[in-house]
Amino acid sequence: MGPTASPCTELATDAARDRCVTIRTRLSHANLFGSPSADPSSHQAPTPQATTTWRVSPCPFYVSQDELQFFTALGPQLLSFYRALNRLYNESIKGRQPAWVAAYLDLGKPDALVQYSRMKRFRDELPAVIRPDVIPTEDGMVITELDSVPGGIGLTACLSQTYSDLENNHAGLVGGRDGMVRGFARMLQTIRRQREGCIAILVSEESKDYRPEMSWLAAQLRNEGIAAWCIEPREVIFTEEGLRLRIDHKEQPIAVVYRFYELFDLLNIPKAELVQYAGKKDRVSITPPYKPALEEKSAFALLHHPILRPFWEQSLGSDCLRHLQAVMPKTWLLDPTPLPAIATIPALSMGGHAVAEWTALEMATQKERHFVIKPSGFSELAWGSRGVSIGHDLSQAEWSQALRNALAAFPTTPYILQEFHKGRLFDMDFMDDASQAIVRMSGRARLSPYYFVSDGTVELAGILATVCPSDKKILHGMKDAIMVPCAVRPE
């Protein structure tokens, strides 16, 4: 199958260019699109000037009706997966499932955080935001990973509003014009319930690049009548009664903390212990919950492990399990512990032969190295496409070294080995900044649907498409990528 072209490519050149200018102007006014030369450190305001840029396309990324049905059905399946994973972890602790499950998921975490996450009051809590990264391939959709602390919520919301407003009768955007804002709002309102106070979106210094979009999102929530502010952790005021926030020279209680920081970074976050204490004493609700076991990429390895198949079948049902195993690539935790002489690594082969030790992979040919090595979680290298090594993109020596480094990092920072699936090609137009001309690009897409959980139900609120040039192996937000919301392809 060749590249799939967007129906938007039929726009007249002048109209397409004018549309791109309008989109960029609106994003700039929202402080979500900036100049790479801007220096955030020169701004003393809580919300720094946005510096991220990308290629602006005149139209959204189009998906078919069948693809929309896939994404709509995927949300409840992923929530079921999180519920089952949480149950698997809890039963592993109690000895009802293999003890090595919890042992693997707790690797590298401080004991205090592990014990905090296991508190009875948090036992059933799950992420309320679910965002998989999905790659459309020639053989179907593939989920490369799950993220419960994702960036892009505010960006996707603003893009949805912007592209929707370009055409008054355009009703095809996934989630609609305001689906992202209202879905996020409903999720937070569900968590707040009867608790008095405002919503505090805490963005750490490590995640400061996302502060502009979360500040924009907080302003949208206030427009919806929800008291919400994007703040730095140091702005939190601690009292024995709970957490408070000073707004317009007045203090008000914080009912919900939306955690926009990674748990590995807790030691670097001001007042992090006070936030945890308030959560422990039920003075505030915190989402996503402090449950690092649910944020490990090695969960994919557990889904494919033959020993755990009866558990997954019982928890998910055969149909859901079969679907998730089809869209989640085979994954292995790179544990250097030697296997018994009669054992092999489940479902891993090289040259048609079973593999019994990881070092055998060092001699794999380039064609046999269609694997990705990446940190499982709880590491500064485990987000933002850092720490990723793609086997067939490396020399033999580089691949061998990447494998050795990953094994050596165990158990402090466990790594996973995952099958690599190549994305299919798409044609999209964008406005070239230098020539101000509309240029066509062939690229591979990463589709990131955003699901919000409210009262146990899942809502697909929008999908962000990141289309990277075809020569890029790792698909992520970059200045050479096209970033647009998804819409259903017109008939």
Q: Are 486 and 8 spatial neighbours (Cβ–Cβ below 8 Å)? A: no
What are the pLDDT digits (tens) for 112-132? 999 999 999 999 999 999 999
- Taking the C-alpha atoms of residue 284 and residue 276, their distance in angstroms, rounded to an integer, is 9
Structure tokens at 118: 């296991």
Average pLDDT over residues 295-303: 97
Total domains in the fold of the chain: 1
For the cut 70, the answer to whether the pLDDT of residue 383 exceeds it is no
Q: Is 296 domain-assigned?
A: no
Bin 192: left if φ > 0, else alpha if -120 < ψ < 50, else beta.
alpha
Output the pLDDT for position 169: 46
- Taking the C-alpha atoms of residue 308 and residue 324, their distance in angstroms, rounded to an integer, is 14
- Taking the C-alpha atoms of residue 387 and residue 369, their distance in angstroms, rounded to an integer, is 17
Output the pLDDT for position 7: 55
Residues 6+ apart with CB under 8 A from 185: 221, 224, 226
Q: Is 374 domain-assigned?
A: yes
Q: Which residue has the tokens 């099958």?
A: 419
Average pLDDT over residues 240-251: 93
What are the pLDDT digits (tens) for 91-113? 999 999 999 999 999 999 999 99
Q: Is 387 domain-assigned?
A: yes
Output the pLDDT for position 44: 39
Output the pLDDT for position 45: 45
- Where is pLDDT greater, at 48 or 245? 245
Average pLDDT over residues 248-260: 95
For the cut 70, the answer to whether the pLDDT of residue 490 exceeds it is yes
Percentage of the chain beyond pLDDT 90 is 82
Query: If pLDDT is split at 50, 70 and 90, which confidence band does 49 have?
Result: confident
- Taking the C-alpha atoms of residue 247 and residue 226, their distance in angstroms, rounded to an integer, is 14
Best CA proximity match to 417, nearest among 409, 426, 425, 429 = 409
Best CA proximity match to 461, nearest among 482, 434, 429, 486 = 486
Q: Is 101 domain-assigned?
A: no
Output the pLDDT for position 234: 95
- Taking the C-alpha atoms of residue 411 and residue 106, their distance in angstroms, rounded to an integer, is 10
List the domain range (segments joined by +) for residue 374: 330-419
- Taking the C-alpha atoms of residue 33 and residue 51, their distance in angstroms, rounded to an integer, is 7
Structure tokens at 31: 């402080």
Q: Is 477 domain-assigned?
A: no
Query: If pLDDT is split at 50, 70 and 90, which confidence band does 434 have?
Result: confident
Residues 6+ apart with CB under 8 A from 437: 13, 17, 431
Please give the backbone phi and psi of residue 485, each rounded to the nearest 5 degrees, phi first: -75, 165
Q: Is 436 domain-assigned?
A: no
- Taking the C-alpha atoms of residue 113 and residue 288, their distance in angstroms, rounded to an integer, is 14
Q: 288 preceded by cis ω (within 30°)?
A: yes
Q: Is 342 domain-assigned?
A: yes
What are the pLDDT digits (tens) for 204-219? 999 999 999 999 999 9
How many Cα atoms sit within 13 Å of 375 on the Cβ side?
19
- DSSP, collapsed to helix, strand or coil, labels residue 302 as helix
Average pLDDT over residues 411-427: 95
- Taking the C-alpha atoms of residue 27 and residue 361, their distance in angstroms, rounded to an integer, is 46
Query: If pLDDT is split at 50, 70 and 90, which confidence band does 387 have?
Result: confident
Output the pLDDT for position 454: 95
- Where is pLDDT greater, at 251 or 1? 251
Output the pLDDT for position 36: 44
Q: Is 349 domain-assigned?
A: yes
What are the pLDDT digits (tens) for 396-417? 999 999 999 999 999 999 999 9
pLDDT averaged over every residue in the chain? 92
Helices 318-327 and 65-93, interaxial angle, to 10°?
Answer: 110
- Taking the C-alpha atoms of residue 132 and residue 148, their distance in angstroms, rounded to an integer, is 9
Tell me the range of 39-53, 155-169, 455-469 where mean pLDDT is highest. Answer: 455-469
Output the pLDDT for position 194: 83
Output the pLDDT for position 37: 42
Average pLDDT over residues 361-366: 91
- Taking the C-alpha atoms of residue 237 and residue 251, their distance in angstroms, rounded to an integer, is 9
- Taking the C-alpha atoms of residue 280 and residue 219, their distance in angstroms, rounded to an integer, is 29
Identity of residue 220: Q
Output the pLDDT for position 43: 39
Output the pLDDT for position 48: 76
Best CA proximity match to 218, nearest among 204, 233, 198, 194 = 198
For the cut 70, the answer to whether the pLDDT of residue 170 exceeds it is no
